[in-house]
């Protein structure tokens, strides 16, 4: 069914301490969201299995943290090269378990690999400092030392890149990791482990525990005394729980949580460009990303033209199984996701929203949903306040710059924001006034391994990617040396 060129990339057991090990909690049935077919029966794990992984990572940390950065970089470079050599197989695994079109899956594999390449290079540039002394008999220095074992929980929507974005800087810094991927998309994570082993990453440095018992595994990764840092990508509600659990041992944390991204189109914008990028950032991965456009604000004087052209563009999107040639919109991840979209649209239409396109489940059945366009959106609608996570574009109008900035900032979230204008003064003003960790002007594309990715407010803590992305995997040690003759 998978038609892999290298069938050995298909793994179904935990990867702990360099060994493929069955879990202690039975099995998980992994299905294809496009058709419901069973893909695999993977192992299932409990807290005891996660504890074994943490203990193995703690032992491996002793030697890996002392491995010279240049040597760590060589092994990681080999991992990166093996991922690129197996891009097609990794993408096929992802499309099968997650549903996104194969072309998108290939893009994610390349994006994920880029983090490994970047941090393999970056770890050789992390330096301490010599501080000007305050006395002739003293010398002052700082060192950067790997923080320790890192616990990671990653989501289903990017089952490859969310792992590499966390594991690459950690491993490059000299840390060891224990990862719990989403139980619905474990195959991508295990395939990465297979390639890491081939690359020569030592036993215990990278560990993956597959489990449907999220709460139990989460408690281990947030409370085990041998874990020094915890990183999570997922919902704000779950992030708050995990953050509280980390407090018991005062762990360093990184959280990449929910979003409610505004997409602002001013009346001087290039409407064609604004429409093109709106489709790209709204409907990527069937709308299932934390940085997808969520609230579309269009200045009233151009709203009719923008809406007309957006409707035409959305109508061209091809909904299909991810392996179909030309597929642009795959399925939602599961039935709960479909039901949520149904509920959001029902609530909006009951409160006066107009359905201009789509509005219901797709004839393909299973998890497929019609690309939808709604107008006449008001603030009392759920769709104006909740993260949509589906292929629904909802348009609101505004009159002035100050008004739309206030409305865009009127949310507990602060992950990504987009706006379009040809006025350079407005570009500077709006980018400074939007309360978001990521602001994108005149483009809907920003993701890159060389820049930080992180949110403000309840969208998270810390950043992944860029120089900032490796900083949290180090502790700074200040060394004061006395007894030096002047």
Euclidean distance between CA atoms 163 and 191, whole angstroms: 11
Instruction: Work out the burial of residue 435: count CB atoms within 10 Å of its CB; fewer than 13 is exposed, 13-18 middle, 19 or more buried.
Output: middle
The backbone torsions φ and ψ at residue 143, rounded to the nearest 5 degrees and listed phi first, read: -120, 155
Helix (H, G, I), strand (E, B) or coil at 17: coil
**What would the two tokens of residue 300 be?**
């009233």
Nearest to 330 by CA among 167, 91, 127: 91
The CB-side HSE value for 111 (13 A sphere, CA atoms) comes to: 21
Euclidean distance between CA atoms 167 and 229, whole angstroms: 12
- Strand bridging mode 416-420 / 460-461: unpaired
Which residues, 6+ apart, have CB-to-CB distance to 472 below 8 Å?
147, 229, 252, 254, 462
The backbone torsions φ and ψ at residue 128, rounded to the nearest 5 degrees and listed phi first, read: -85, -160
The backbone torsions φ and ψ at residue 255, rounded to the nearest 5 degrees and listed phi first, read: -130, 125
Quick check: is 256 catalytic?
yes
Euclidean distance between CA atoms 449 and 168, whole angstroms: 11
**DSSP of 413-449:** EESEEEEE-S-HHHHHHHHHHS--SEEEES-S----T
Euclidean distance between CA atoms 411 and 405, whole angstroms: 11
Euclidean distance between CA atoms 65 and 175, whole angstroms: 6
Euclidean distance between CA atoms 92 and 109, whole angstroms: 10
Sign, CA dihedral 302-304-305-306, equals: positive
Quickly count: other Cβ atoms within 10 Å of residue 270's Cβ. Answer: 14
Partners of residue 180 on adjacent β-strands: 153
Euclidean distance between CA atoms 332 and 341, whole angstroms: 10
Sign, CA dihedral 167-146-19-245, equals: negative
Catalytic residue among 256, 387, 401, 449: 256
Quickly count: other Cβ atoms within 10 Å of residue 115's Cβ. Answer: 28
Which residues, 6+ apart, have CB-to-CB distance to 483 below 8 Å?
137
Task: Provide Rg for the chain, Cα atoms.
Answer: 23
Nearest to 58 by CA among 171, 167, 151, 148: 148
- Annotated catalytic sites, by residue? 256
């Amino acid at each position: 069914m998978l038609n892999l060129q290298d069938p050995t990339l298909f793994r179904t057991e935990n990867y702990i301490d360099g060994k493929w090990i069955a879990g202690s909690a039975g099995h998980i049935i992994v299905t294809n969201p496009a058709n419901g077919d069973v893909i695999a029966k993977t192992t299932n794990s409990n807290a005891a299995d996660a504890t074994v992984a943490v203990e193995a990572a703690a032992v491996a940390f002793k030697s890996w943290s002392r491995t010279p950065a240049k040597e760590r970089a060589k092994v990681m470079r080999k991992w990166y090269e093996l991922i690129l050599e197996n891009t097609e197989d990794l993408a096929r695994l992802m499309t099968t378990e997650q549903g996104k079109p194969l072309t998108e899956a290939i893009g994610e594999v390349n994006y994920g690999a880029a983090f490994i390449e970047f941090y393999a290079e970056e770890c050789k540039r992390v330096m301490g400092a010599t501080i000007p002394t305050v006395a002739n008999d003293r010398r002052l220095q700082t060192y950067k030392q790997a923080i320790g074992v890192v616990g990671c929980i990653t989501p289903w929507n990017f089952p490859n890149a969310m792992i590499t974005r966390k594991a690459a800087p950690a491993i490059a810094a000299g840390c060891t990791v224990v990862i719990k991927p989403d139980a619905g998309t474990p195959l991508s994570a295990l395939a990465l482990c297979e390639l890491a082993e081939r690359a020569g990453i030592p036993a215990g440095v990278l560990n993956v525990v597959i489990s449907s018992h999220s709460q139990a595994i989460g408690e281990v990764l947030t409370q085990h005394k041998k874990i020094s840092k915890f990183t999570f990508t997922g919902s704000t509600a779950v992030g708050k729980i995990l953050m509280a659990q980390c407090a018991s041992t005062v762990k360093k944390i990184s959280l990449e949580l929910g979003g409610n991204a505004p997409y602002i189109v001013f009346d001087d914008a290039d409407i064609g460009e604004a429409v093109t990028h709106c489709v790209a950032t709204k409907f990527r991965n069937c709308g299932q990303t934390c940085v997808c456009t969520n609230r579309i604000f269009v200045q009233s004087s151009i709203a009719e033209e923008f809406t007309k052209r957006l409707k035409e563009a959305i109508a061209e999107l091809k909904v299909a199984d991810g392996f179909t040639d030309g597929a642009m919109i795959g399925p939602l991840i599961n039935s709960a996701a479909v039901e949520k979209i149904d509920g959001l649209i029902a609530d909006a239409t009951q409160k006066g929203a107009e359905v201009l396109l789509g509005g219901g489940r797709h004839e393909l059945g299973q998890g497929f949903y019609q690309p939808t366009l709604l107008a006449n959106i008001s603030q009392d609608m759920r769709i104006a306040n909740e993260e949509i996570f589906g292929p629904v574009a909802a348009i609101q109008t505004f009159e002035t710059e100050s008004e739309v900035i206030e409305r865009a900032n009127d949310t507990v979230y602060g992950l990504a924001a987009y706006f379009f204008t040809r006025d350079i003064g407005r570009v500077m003003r709006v980018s400074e006034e939007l309360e978001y960790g990521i602001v994108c002007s005149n483009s809907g594309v920003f993701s890159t391994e060389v820049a930080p990715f992180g949110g403000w407010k309840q969208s998270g803590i810390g950043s992944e990617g860029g120089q900032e992305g490796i900083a949290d995997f180090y502790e700074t040690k200040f060394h004061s040396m006395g007894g030096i003759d002047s």
